[in-house]
Structure 1
Amino acid sequence: MVRVSGDLSPLASLLSVYAGEDAPRHRLVWTLDARFARLVATTSEPMIGQMRLAWWNDALTDESGVKGQGEPLIDAMRKLEMAPPHGLSQWLDGWEALIGEVDLLAYAEGRGGGLFRALAGRDDIPSWLVQAGAVWALWDLAGHIGDGAVAGKAVAMARAHLLTGKPVWPGEWRPLRIAYHLARHDIEKGHFSPPGLTPALYLRLMRVALMGR
């Protein structure tokens, strides 16, 4: 078995459990997102970062299965027939929006929308789910970017994008619903995401999983 769990955070690992039989695919999606995050965080030259993101796009969309062969994550995704993942182009555009001059809106809609499309396993998701993904992405960024001003802007933008009404979350989207409501709880209080799976975040996750929010 190919093991690619090194980049999987405790929160992502726990969220994936709620995907049931689809958990292996969710774990790979979260692992890929973590790989993109690390790529962007270690990029000092925008052009180099764009080239590295382009490599992932080319490898994951290569129908011949040759490009990227030997990269454990890509091999694992091909084994599950999920390469390319849904929303890949949007997802990569979102991460690219953090390279150089930060474009928070492009990042939120791109990373969040692309990630939630990949987790949902389909491209034709409702606009409110893309919005929910954007909220989650801004919350996550706020706790990891290390720039207080940008983090504050991210939380303010996320608050403006919180869902209104009560959308119906299909059962298979339970991990996405949990992720969104975890973010919403902090955003409504003006808080950033915690640096890891803290006891308080774990308890909130359990409550959301059991009670819906």
Structure 2
Amino acid sequence: MLKVETAGELPPLASLLSAYAGQDAPRHRLVWALDARFARLVATTSEPMIGQMRLTWWNDALTDDSGVKGRGEPLIDAMRALDAAPPPGLTPWLDGWEALIGEIDLRAYAEGRGGGLFRALAGRDDIPEWLVRAGTAWALWDLSGHVGDDGVADRAIALGRQNLLSGKQDWRPEWRPMRIAYHLARQDMEKGRRAPAGLTPALYLRLMRVALIGR
């Protein structure tokens, strides 16, 4: 159902967003790489039980205090080397991806993947509810550009529009990559437009604009 990125490759948009994390860019790249790995896992799973078992393995490996489970897996080794394992928000993050296995639950997917991913990028669990909601909206926008079912893509955009933020938010400097990601999603969803399947020149220019002026 999902379109799969090349194995081991960080999506171009994620790579660009990570560049705005400053000194925290190495950790951001690992978080995005982990999200891409979960996406590939879900995209290549045909049996729900097998997919659930694979996601459970990642949870167990990333939360293993002994550092034994998962040793030799380059991504896990790299996260441990940066003292970034387990990432904050891991449980809802994995639950969100699991919501795409079998019968799709878009709301559970968006709240879990988006909220978990934004917690992981922030490096803390106690982020404001509005930032979780921003992650929820972003996740739905992102899915709309990678799912092969037009109906699911359209429902994702419709649900994403319901999660757009209102009022003024206090985007801290360290949340700049998430601010850029959210506003890219917002621009498309306000127009009922799906996310592009990849990093198009138009999306790149929009990213530069948001990075410079904030919207």
TM-score per shorter chain, which class?
A: over 0.9
CA shift, 1:161, in A, is: 0.7
With structure 1 as the length reference, what TM-score do the two structures score?
0.97
Task: State the alpha-carbon separation in 1 of the partners of residues 168 and 179 from structure 2.
Answer: 12
Task: State the alpha-carbon separation in 1 of the partners of residues 145 and 22 from structure 2.
Answer: 28
Tell me which residue corresponds to 2:61.
59
Tell me which residue corresponds to 1:87.
89
C-alpha distance after superposition, 1:142-199 (max 9, x if no partner): 1101100011000000001100101110000000000000000000111111011100
Moved over 3 A (4+): none
Q: Tell me if structure 2 keeps the 8 A contact 1:7–1:35.
A: no
Tell me which residue corresponds to 1:134.
136
Instruction: Specify which of 152, 163, 172 is matched with residue 150 of structure 1.
Output: 152
Instruction: Specify which of 7, 20, 23 is matched with residue 21 of structure 1.
Output: 23
Q: Identity rate of aligned residues, in percent? A: 78
Task: State the alpha-carbon separation in 2 of the partners of residues 90 and 72 from structure 1.
Answer: 23
Letter in 2 for 1:191: R
Give the gaps of 5 or more residues in structure 1. Answer: none
Tell me which residue corresponds to 1:124.
126
Letter in 2 for 1:57: N
Tell me which residue corresponds to 1:183.
185
Task: State the alpha-carbon separation in 2 of the partners of residues 201 and 110 from structure 1.
Answer: 25
Tell me which residue corresponds to 1:6.
8
Task: State the alpha-carbon separation in 1 of the partners of residues 82 and 209 from structure 2.
Answer: 32
Task: State the alpha-carbon separation in 2 of the partners of residues 13 and 191 from structure 1.
Answer: 23
Tell me which residue corresponds to 1:71.
73
Tell me which residue corresponds to 1:40.
42
Task: State the alpha-carbon separation in 2 of the partners of residues 50 and 27 from structure 1.
Answer: 25
Task: State the alpha-carbon separation in 1 of the partners of residues 25 and 135 from structure 2.
Answer: 19
Task: State the alpha-carbon separation in 1 of the partners of residues 103 and 86 from structure 2.
Answer: 28
CA shift, 1:6, in A, is: 2.9
C-alpha RMSD of matched pairs (Å): 0.8
| SS of 1:155 mapped into structure 2 | helix
| SS of 1:7 mapped into structure 2 | coil
Instruction: Specify which of 106, 110, 128 is matched with residue 108 of structure 1.
Output: 110
Q: Tell me if structure 2 keeps the 8 A contact 1:115–1:133.
A: yes
Letter in 2 for 1:210: L
With structure 2 as the length reference, what TM-score do the two structures score?
0.96
Q: Tell me if structure 2 keeps the 8 A contact 1:142–1:155.
A: yes
